[in-house]
Structure 1
Amino acid sequence: MGAVPDEIRVLLDNKYVFASFWNHQNGFPGFDDRQDRLTRSKQKIAAALTRHDTSAILAVVFDRLYVLRNLLVHGGVTWNSSVNRQQVHDGAAVLSWLLPVFIDLLMDNPDHDWGTPYYPVVERNDRFDLR
C-alpha cells in the first residue's frame, strides 16, 4: 500500500466514524471504554502499516466507511447541515482515492469470477405488485 494517503489517516483518526463511539452514545453496555478502543484501533493500524498489511488497513477503512454510510442513511448527516460534515468530506476523499483503484482491478481482470451480484438488475415485471 505504500504511504497511506492523508485522507485515509484523517478518516481513521475520526471518532465519529468509529462504531464504539456510537454504541456508547446509544447506551449499549460495555462501551464506556470507547476512547481506549479507538486508541487500540489506532495502534493496530500503526502495526499494520509497519507490516505493510494492506488487508488489515482496508478492513478498518471499510469499517469506518460503513459507519459513515450509516450516518448518511439513518439521519446522522442531513442535507445542508454542518453536523458531521467533516466525516462526509473525509469519506468522499477516501472513496475518490480508492474507487479508481477498484475500477482498475476490475478492468484489469475481466475474466475473474467476482461472484453473483447481490442486487442485480431485475426486469420491471419482477417487481412486487403493490396493488
Structure 2
Amino acid sequence: MAGDFQQRLRDQRDLFNQEHSTRLHRAISWWRAANEQGGSADLQFITAWISLSCCCLTSDDGDDDFLPLMETLVQLDEQQQIYHLLWHTYSGPVKALIKNPFVYRPFWQAQRGQLADWRGSFERSSVEALNCLSRRKVPELLAITLDRLSVLRNQVMGGGATYGSSVNRDQVVTGAELLMSLLPVIFDLMLSHPEQEWGALAYPVISASEPNRQVPVSEE
C-alpha cells in the first residue's frame, strides 16, 4: 500500500505546492519503514510516530498540538473513515488509553516532584475524553488520544523504557496498531485535497550550496 501512496503522490505532484509534496514524501517514507517493523511493536510505534509527525509538524518548539490538523482532517473526511476507526475498530483500546495513568503527562510530573497531585486532573481529563467518545466529538477525541500517545513517545524515544519490555507492552502495541490504521486515512485525505492549506514545514528542504534556497523534493 505504501507504493500506492507513493505512486499517487508522483501522479499528483503538479497539484501540490513544494512544501506539501515534501511533507507527504517524508511521511510515506516513514510509514513504509513502519510497515517493515512488524516483528517489533516498539520500532513500529517509533517509525509510525515519525510518519505522523511529518504530517503534523509545523514548528520546532516541541509543542504537540494535534487538534488543528484533526479538525481539518475530520472536516474533509466525507466518508467518516476516522469516525469508524475510533468507534468501531479501536473503541476499546482508546478507552484503555484514556484510563491509563501511565500515558498521562501530569502523572509523570508528579513522580518527578514537579506536581503535588495528578489524580484530580486525570479524572477530569478522562471524563472529558469519554464524553468526547460518547458524543462523537471526533477531532477532540483523536487529539486527546494522540496526546496520550505522545507521552508514550517521549518515554520510548527518551530512553525511559526497555526495548521489548513487558511493562508497557499493551500501550505500545495499541499505539502502533492505531497509528498504522490512522496514517493511511490521513494520507488519503491529504492526497485528495491539494487545495487545502496544510501549514508550513518546520524543516523545509534547503540547498547545501545556497542556504537561503529551498530545493525540489526530488533532491531530498
Q: Tell me the TM-score normalised to structure 1 length.
A: 0.80
Cα distance, 1:111 vs structure 2: 2.2
* Structure 1: runs of 5 or more not aligned: 127-131
**Which 5+ residue runs of structure 2 have no aligned equivalent?**
1-82, 212-220
| 1:97 equivalent in alignment to 2:97 | no
2:145 paired residue number: 61
Larger RCO (CA within 8 A; separation ≥ 6): 2
State the one-letter code of the partner of 1:91: G
CA drift at 1:124: 4.2
CA deviations on 1:71-119 (whole Å, 9 max, x unpaired) are 1221112323333232211211221221122111101112222122112
1:45 aligns with 2:145: no
Contact 2:95 2:130 in 1 (8 A): no
Q: Which runs of 4+ in 1 moved over 4 A?
A: none
RMSD across aligned positions (CA) = 2.0
The count of aligned residue pairs is 124
Q: Write the letter of the residue equivalent to 1:13.
A: K
User: In percent, how many aligned pairs have the same letter?
Assistant: 37
Residue number in structure 2 paired with 1:129: none
Cα 1:93–1:12 change in 2 (3 A) is: farther
Amino acid in the other structure paired with 1:40: R
Q: TM-score, normalised by structure 2?
A: 0.50
Compared with structure 1, are the counterparts of its residues 113 and 62 closer, same or farther at alpha carbon in structure 2 (3 Å cutoff)?
same
Give 3-state SS (helix, strand or coil) of 1:61's partner. Answer: helix
